[in-house]
Amino acid sequence: MTRTSEKRTAARYATERRLAPHVEEEWAEAFVIELRLLDVPGAALGAALAEVESHCAESGEPAAEAFGDPVAYARSLDLPVEPDGRWEVVKVLGPTSAQFLGLLLLGWGGSAVVLARRAGEVPSVDVTAGMLATIAVFGAAILLFYRFSSTVLRRGLERPVASFFALVGCMAVLVAVPVLLDGVLVTLPASPVAVAGGLALTVGTVWGAVQARRGTLDDPIVSPLPGEPQEAPARGSRLLSATVTWVVPAFALASLALTWLLLGR
């Protein structure tokens, strides 16, 4: 095994090696992932993993022999799941929803301003049924994902190729809806639409960045043993969180810049 492969393996199994050093890494990882998919809180997950570690350390028996398949064993425990708080859906979906709405409004209003400037006309946005349908479809999609997130993530892990094409299909629907439903419902001035989009995008981005920095949505695995450290967010996890937060505003700015370069002159 090369040094790079060793580093990747160490990073992948960092939590399992620290909290359950006597348990096979692959078994522990599958066990943890399944409990995460079942929405088991970090404290209960840590306690369950500690029980497996204690048994394996004392008996020297591999976890696969003592407990069988990790996924089946995790499901058999019937551990309590994390209850949804009153504002949980707002905390989880709020930043992404605000960013997506801001991206659409800024794109519609900004492109209209650029095109009108080139033609010497008053900038306006023709709001079509497809535009409103796009917002409604996206809202329904993220609510369904939130409601059935465990099932969706499990299918994604089990069938990554099929899940990829399903995601591509969903994106195609979002693109096709405004093209097919092009009937104009109302015409609005473009500048306020663009400003509203910029504000929504900014609010969503700042909201997501603050949540990521404070760890609002984190649920670390907590060992029940005194003195044991909690699971720390991995570097890759922090990078992923930052990428998710900033990719939408980066795409919005790049799209506006491209529109200005290609059509604004």
How would DSSP label each residue in 172-189?
HHHHHHHHH---EEEEEE
Stretches where the chain sits below pLDDT 50 are 232-236
Tokens coding 68? 């069988």
**Distances, alpha carbon 223 to alpha carbons 34, 58, 136, in Å:** 18, 18, 42
- Measured from the Cβ of residue 57, the count of other Cβ atoms closer than 10 Å reads 13
Tokens coding 203? 């609010």
Q: What is the pLDDT of residue 99?
A: 92
CA-wise closest residue to 102 among 256, 212, 241? 256
Q: What is the pLDDT of residue 237?
A: 54
By residue count, the chain amounts to: 265
**Distances, alpha carbon 47 to alpha carbons 54, 174, 217, in Å:** 10, 43, 20
Tokens coding 204? 């969503």
Question: Quick one: residue 92, left, alpha or beta (phi over 0 = left, psi -120 to 50 = alpha)?
Answer: alpha
CA-wise closest residue to 97 among 203, 223, 230, 211? 203
Q: Do residues 98 and 201 lie in contact, with contact meaning Cβ atoms separated by under 8 Å? A: yes
Q: What is the pLDDT of residue 197?
A: 93
Q: What is the pLDDT of residue 198?
A: 92
Query: What 3-state DSSP class applies to 79?
Result: coil
d(CA 13, CA 28): 9
